[in-house]
Structure 1
Amino acid sequence: MDKNVKISAELSTLIKAALRGNEDLSLFDNTSPDSARLAILSRYHQVQSLLYDYLTAHPGLIHVQDFEDLKAHSINDAVYNMIFLRKSLELNAALRNNAVDAFLMKGAFWAWWLYERPGLREFGDIDYFLRKQHITKGLHVLGRFGFQPDAYRKFLLEDESVSRLYFETDYQLPLVPDVESAVKSLEIQWNSSYPRFSYEFTWEELMSRTMLFEVLGEKIEVPSPDNQLLMMLVHHAGVEQWDKLKYMGDFVRLLRKFSDTLDWPYVISVARDKGFYQLLLQSLGLVRMLTGEDYGKYIAGDNLSDYPSDSLASAVLAHWENRRTKPMTKSWRIFYFNMKYRDRITDKLRILLKHVAYLLEWRLLLPKARWYYRNRV
């Protein structure tokens, strides 16, 4: 990464607030940020609570009204996070009691597991990973709590052959409450990403190493920190392309908390085997660039000073500054990113061939097109 690169005062302040690393890095612009732009960026990056927490120790950086707005948001987030957590634990117990193999994942879990206070991590829904063979049972259980597939997926699941193809080619199923609820969205997953992107983590793989985490007096079984790191790399790097500071906040905190106890040979072996070792190096390089923290001692034979690449660093900083617009579908953006940054030509060829196979799967694509045609605006 070009050492002469500078970012705005607003993004500099936001990175300091979200990551709490070395504030003297040459990357940062230490002039006073524009209050309005800082508030706007914090909303995009979903780090308003982290920014408010930072500003309580750095008063005077933004206008009083913007500070009060952040305070109100932070209080509301803390309340909603507690509501989400209680609902998460209730649903987790119901799935377990009905012999559905499932674990709580991503936002709700990471907020309690990784952050100094759970209210500091913003998230919008509850996510569970289910054993693929238990999806039908799991949907029945969650349905009793009022969570149903959205209209589009409900249409696809009505036909048994289309439903089977959906579960083979997708990895998640959004559910929405059929009654008024504080929890507006719940998602179940049975893979780490779309199979056509060739990451492929099954229930058996992720739960091959587990840990017990106690929250509000209840112990829940989830994948080990090693597998959590791999899941985070797939989602935050491979799918979301480090789109928001919120994602980097998760990654940095996991590394700080567990880097000395992680089974790094295992992490590296799995990343190499599945073709995203370069994403691991790029991501650790981003951490080094943004916080000054170097985890290179855990990566034998590779020098993190070569990472992140100029192209990746420039792309990440550009859309952090400019709030990358959300496309109609992210599939092609994810495709381009993985074709550029996955490890081997064989990995990229496999991704390409799986996309071709998906585009030829007319038995699924025709019902999808029919639904969108009928429901076009």
Structure 2
Amino acid sequence: MEHTKERNFVIHLLKLFLGRTDKLYTELEDLDWSAVLQIARFNKIRPSIYHVLAKYYTEFTNTEVVRLKMEVLGITAFNLQQLTELSALIKLLKDNNIEIIPYKGLVLSKAAFNGFGMREFSDIDFLFQKKDFHQVKRLLLEKGYQTEKKIPRTFEKVYLYHHCEYNFLFKEHNQRKFFVEPHWFLGTRMLQNNISFKQVKQLTATGTLSSADATNLLGPEGLLLTTCIHHTSIRYPTFKSIMDVATLLARYADEIDWKKILAVSKEWGIQNILLFSIHLASTELEAPLPEKVKVLVGEKLSSQLLSNYKKHVLDTGVKPFTVKYHYKRIRLQFLLRDSLYTKSKILWFTFLYYATFKVFFRNKEI
């Protein structure tokens, strides 16, 4: 793998952020700082990297580090702007008697990283009940949003069945300002991650985000489960996905109810997805795990699966949303399921999805 030294330095910085080591890196001669920053950008972990550099490596003030500082300031400004909009959306939907569960993005930034500027994200996500879809769509359109895709009304029912989100964007001066992703499921039917609002709500409690109105906020178990499902559903393992899980494990080490989370993950049919994600966080970044959970990982997941996918962390050769990308994420979901029935459903709904959206309609946007 290229830039092995720089990759190891990035891992070291992330462990420092997590408090999993207190030793400072000494092998800094000939370090390629542009490669370090490239890794941070690709994995979208710039705030964490800069936070550690500013705290422990103050002697580094080269051009790349100064550029990183400016990028992180920009990320913080962007995130606070998104927080203002999410607060407005929470109020708008609540005033119209629509219950939601904000997650990913801002929620994860605050709950896992303890600051709205400490994590990179690009959109606003929330889970809602599918029955409220048309009302959510109407409210967002009235607020000035436009739909990302032009889905014919006659095709909407089919789209809602196969997909898990319907995206909206808000433009200012012809530039994207906000991108909102309302979800009625955590993941697609194709990947058998179609877990609903009602199922997730059992893992929430009423709370507030900053000055926003009260809403349903995920507890430690809900944060961990939704994060694991999200990252294994739409992207190959990167340091961003591993860092998200590792940060949750480190911050809530004494609070996670492992009996509850293992029971819920089994009920949802995604226990291996949970185990796979926390295993990567534990092995790559030394995130804390109870011994009994480590034993369960060894019992449930094959060593071949774990070693094969671990080596692909930071694989920049798989470009997002290509045929190879889709094949790899579907294959991962297939390998992580025990039930032959679930595996067959993944194959069947994958066939249906591509037959419906790519063959009959030939609409690349869909």
- TM-score greater than 0.5 by the shorter chain: yes
**2:194 matched to 1:196?**
no
Aligned to 1:40: 38
Distance 1:207 1:274, change over 3 A: closer
Distance 1:305 1:70, change over 3 A: farther
Instruction: Confirm or deny: 8 A CA contact 1:48 1:74 kept in the other structure.
Output: yes
- Matching of residues 254-333 of structure 1 within 5 Å: 254-297=248-291, 299=293, 302=296, 309=303, 311-320=305-314, 322=316, 324-328=318-322, 330-333=325-328
**How far apart in 2 are the matches of 1:317 and 1:145?**
45
Aligned to 1:368: 361
- What residue ranges of structure 1 are gaps of 5+ in the alignment? none
**2:341 matched to 1:337?**
no
CA apart distance, 1:42: 0.9
1:125 aligned residue (109, 118, 123): 123
Instruction: Confirm or deny: 8 A CA contact 2:129 2:184 kept in the other structure.
Output: yes
Runs of 4+ in 1 over 6 A off after TM superposition: 305-308
SS, match of residue 138 in structure 2: helix
Distance 1:352 1:199, change over 3 A: same
Instruction: Confirm or deny: 8 A CA contact 1:286 1:308 kept in the other structure.
Output: no
Tell me how large the CA RMSD over aligned residues is: 3.0
CA apart distance, 1:347: 2.2
2:142 aligned residue (141, 144, 153): 144
Instruction: Confirm or deny: 8 A CA contact 1:18 1:245 kept in the other structure.
Output: no
Distance 1:120 1:300, change over 3 A: closer
CA apart distance, 1:119: 1.1
Q: Using the aligned pairs only, state the percent identity.
A: 16
**2:167 matched to 1:171?**
no
Aligned residue type for 2:361: K
Instruction: Confirm or deny: 8 A CA contact 2:93 2:136 kept in the other structure.
Output: yes
Matched length:
358
Superposition TM-score, scaled by structure 2 size: 0.86
- Matching of residues 65-214 of structure 1 within 5 Å: 65-150=63-148, 153-154=149-150, 156=151, 158-160=152-154, 162-180=155-173, 183-214=177-208
Distance 1:112 1:292, change over 3 A: closer
Superposition TM-score, scaled by structure 1 size: 0.84
Instruction: Confirm or deny: 8 A CA contact 1:111 1:118 kept in the other structure.
Output: yes
Aligned residue type for 1:209: L
**How far apart in 1 are the matches of 2:3 and 2:303?**
17
- What residue ranges of structure 2 are gaps of 5+ in the alignment? none
CA apart distance, 1:359: 4.3
Aligned to 2:215: 220
**2:13 matched to 1:17?**
yes
Bigger mean CA offset, 270-279 vs 165-174: 270-279
CA apart distance, 1:98: 1.1
Deviations for 1:198-235, whole angstroms, at most 9, x for unmatched residues? Answer: 12211110112322333323333223332222111111
**How far apart in 2 are the matches of 1:113 and 1:345?**
36
Deviations for 1:254-298, whole angstroms, at most 9, x for unmatched residues? Answer: 122323333322321232233332232222222221233441335
SS, match of residue 128 in structure 1: strand
Aligned to 1:350: 345
